[in-house]
Amino acid sequence: MKIGIFTDTYHPDINGVVTSIKMLEREMKKRGHEVFIFSPSKHEPTENQNLFMLKSIPLFVAKKFKYRIATFYSRPIAKEIKELNLDIVHTHCEFSLALFGKIISRKFSIPFVHTYHTMWEDYMHYVVPIKGTRNIYPKRFARSFSKNFVRKAECIIAPSKKTEKYLKYRCGIKNKPIYIIPTGIDIEPFSPSNFTYEDRCNLKKNIGINDNEKIVLFIGRIGEEKSIDQVLSAMPEVFRTLPNTKFVIVGDGPAKDSLIEQSIKLGIDNKVIFTGPIPWEKIALYYSIGDVFVNASTTETQGLTFIEAMASGVPVVAKYAPNLAEFIHHNENGLLVKYDKELGKSIISVLTNVVLSNKLKQNGFVTSTQNSSKEFGDKLVEVYTQVIKNYKIKKSDEDKKNKKISEKISIFNLKKKLVNITKLTKIKKG
């Protein structure tokens, strides 16, 4: 197969969408398929011959993210795409490059599928800074926008049940097949055995932490929706109980300045360390120094950082959210708290209770192995294959009634196949 990936964010950006695309790219290539990436220009040299970059400008509503928005159409690249003879178009965002992908799909009669990574109503504060009851209107717009974008898609891929329910019941998407395919991770790079005691000591020293100090860790984009302020508010309690502890925040984003200000007001700025953005290839080392990983965000569509922490052998504490409850089971492979006031006590429990900490580490690692990149790749191949087959039938001269019956049967059978892939993966892991 020749797969065209259209995305508004790609390397060197560091986020969940890029992680998912890189995993998709790797798994498809392992199976002998060709993957072509279409993204905004970053003005950086690249050796990837299958990466096409459209001219772009900084996205004015997200300057601190350093994201860019590309032109909606490029005639030269469209000509190149025609020669590539793509089998399927897979869009991963809802803006410039995704619109280009939709145009290409229609222009060259190529089926397109869409992965819905981001619930935009949780991010509207970046675009329309309205609070209170009037905030409902931007959220309604986000839902309507999401629904309209996927109107012509052959199917939608959702990373979690939470996303599927959101699309069905909040956005009102009822006439499109939605397949739940969580992004798997390659756990090998996160293995604690990849790093020596000296590696960890050197990193701690470089960021101003003594070897005997405990580390509460957050890794991710520093945005309002990540609720890092709630974790910060819980830290004075942690520091009073365990003075020999530091809170390390790895990443960058628009909320960083307000969090620095908050830590100063709380009188804990000497115990909170902001590392700034870290290259992806070094992230696993940062996970390895954590004694507990904490994230209070309830807006995640999947929660890849939790799985990465589990693969790194770091116990996790999370704020309860339906999608996180799909794989984090309280007091088994992590701690799920319902109220902000429980965050501090939960962090202290993990840091002081060796038996609990070890249990969460061991069970968490098992959970990380069940979110395999292979299962992710196997499911995508099944979806691509069936979508391409259905699209050919749709474009054929076959009777319209028979087409609808055939499509319904194929959707039903595909959902069964995806469930069976998960069952087989669990049997092999077990």
Examine residue 14 and state whether it is found in any structural domain, yes or no: yes
**In a shared domain, residues 217 and 336:** yes
Using CA atoms, how far residue 220 sits from 107, 138, 193, 284, in Å, is: 38, 25, 23, 12
* Phi, psi for residue 243 in degrees, rounded to 5: -60, -25
DSSP state string for 151-182 = GG-SEEEESSHHHHHIIIIIS---SS-EEE-P
**In a shared domain, residues 167 and 205:** no
**In a shared domain, residues 235 and 288:** yes
> For position 251, what pLDDT does the model report?
92
Examine residue 201 and state whether it is found in any structural domain, yes or no: yes
Examine residue 395 and state whether it is found in any structural domain, yes or no: no
**In a shared domain, residues 149 and 210:** no
Q: Is the peptide bond before 12 cis (omega within 30 degrees of 0)?
A: yes
Tokens 């429980």 correspond to what residue?
A: 342
* Phi, psi for residue 395 in degrees, rounded to 5: -85, -5
Examine residue 388 and state whether it is found in any structural domain, yes or no: no
Examine residue 352 and state whether it is found in any structural domain, yes or no: yes
Could you tell me if residue 321 is left (phi over 0), alpha (psi between -120 and 50 degrees) or otherwise beta?
Answer: beta
Strand partners, 319: 337
Instruction: Read off the tokens for 210.
Output: 């003594």
* Count of positions (residues) in the chain: 430
**In a shared domain, residues 234 and 316:** yes
Domain boundary among 313, 348, 369: 369
First-to-final CA distance of the chain: 32
Distance from the Cα of residue 346 to its chain's centroid:
25
Would you say 38 and 9 are in contact if contact means Cβ atoms under 8 Å apart?
no
Strand partners, 336: 318
**In a shared domain, residues 112 and 94:** yes
Examine residue 383 and state whether it is found in any structural domain, yes or no: no
Handedness of CA 218, 222, 224, 226 (dihedral sign): negative
Q: CATH number, domain at 139?
A: 3.40.50.2000
Distance from the Cα of residue 120 to its chain's centroid:
14
Count of domains observed in the chain: 2
**In a shared domain, residues 266 and 150:** no
Domain boundary among 184, 203, 221: 184
**In a shared domain, residues 127 and 273:** no
Strand partners, 115: 157
Examine residue 295 and state whether it is found in any structural domain, yes or no: yes
Q: How far apart are CA 285 and CA 281, in angstroms?
A: 9
Amino acid present at 394: K
| H-state helical runs in 248-316 | 256-265, 280-288, 304-311
**In a shared domain, residues 173 and 194:** no
Could you tell me the pTM of the whole model?
0.77
**In a shared domain, residues 212 and 337:** yes
Please compute Rg for the chain using Cα positions: 22
Amino acid present at 16: G
The domain in which residue 102 lies consists of 2-184
pLDDT tens series, the chain, 430 aa: 999 999 988 887 777 788 889 999 999 999 999 999 999 887 455 666 799 988 877 665 555 455 667 777 899 999 999 999 999 999 998 888 999 999 999 999 999 999 998 877 766 555 555 555 456 777 787 888 888 888 889 999 998 888 899 899 989 998 899 999 988 888 899 999 999 999 999 999 999 999 999 999 999 989 888 999 999 999 999 999 999 999 999 999 889 999 999 999 999 999 999 999 998 889 999 999 999 999 999 877 778 899 999 999 999 999 998 888 889 999 999 999 999 999 999 999 999 999 999 999 999 999 998 777 888 999 999 999 999 999 998 888 666 777 778 888 888 899 898 988 887 776 665 5
For residue 272, give the H/E element and its range: strand 272-276
Examine residue 299 and state whether it is found in any structural domain, yes or no: yes
Q: How far apart are CA 347 and CA 349, in angstroms?
A: 5
Distant-in-sequence, close-in-space partners of 133: CB < 8 Å, separation ≥ 6: none
Strand partners, 276: 250, 251
**In a shared domain, residues 205 and 175:** no
Domain boundary among 184, 218, 233: 184
Instruction: Read off the tokens for 36.
Output: 């072509």
**In a shared domain, residues 265 and 347:** yes
Neighbours of 352 (CB within 10 A): 12
